Amino acid sequence: MKLSIYGKGCRKCDQLTANAREAAEALGLTVEIEKVTDMNAIIDKGVMRTPALGVDDEVVIEGKVASAEEIQALLEP
């Protein structure tokens, strides 16, 4: 599974990354976490507000730092 963090690399982006990692570990998932900081790539993906989280190339959270519990609910099979 691939998780993408869309944002400029700010503190909120770092927190979203940590929360995503925590959620994946809680579920025992092996994930690849990619940080997308290029504004053109972010816009091309259709993200209008950062930070955003993508799961397997689909943006699922936009414009907020989701908690580990919220992300875990999205990742559960």
Instruction: Considering only the C-alpha atoms of the chain, give the largest distance between any 2 of them, rounded to a whole number of Å.
Output: 33
**Catalytic-labelled residue, pool 3, 13, 20, 71:** 13
Q: Which residue in 10, 18, 48, 73 is the catalytic one?
A: 10
Q: Is 59 a catalytic residue?
A: no
- Which of these, 68, 70, 60, lies nearest to 2 by C-alpha position? 60
* Known active-site residue 13: yes
Cα dihedral sign for 77, 48, 65, 33?
Answer: positive
List residues with catalytic annotation.
10, 13
